Amino acid sequence: MILGAGMTGLAAGWASGFPVFEAEETPGGICSSCYVRPGERATV
């Protein structure tokens, strides 16, 4: 089990095949966009 779906957790999950659990609603951590969420269109 991997806690955190930032770039590190997503890469670890991809490499290991273990499930990744994220505390926030969307993955990406501090590397995620402030403007685009899944299902939304970019506004800038």
Ligand X SMILES: Cc1cc2nc3c(=O)[nH]c(=O)nc-3n(C[C@H](O)[C@H](O)[C@H](O)COP(=O)(O)OP(=O)(O)OC[C@H]3O[C@@H](n4cnc5c(N)ncnc54)[C@H](O)[C@@H]3O)c2cc1C
**Given the complex with ligand X, which of 34 and 42 has the nearer CB atom?**
34
Return the bridge partners of 21, or none.
3
Q: Which of 18, 31, 36, 37 binds ligand X (CB under 6 A)?
A: 31
Q: What's the min distance (Å) between Cβ of 34 and ligand X?
A: 10
Q: Which two tokens stand for residue 8?
A: 């590190």
> Would you count residue 20 as binding ligand X (CB under 6 A)?
no
Helices (H), 1-44: 7-16
Tokens 């499930």 found at: 19
Residues in contact with ligand X by the rule CB under 6 A: 3-9, 21-24, 29-31
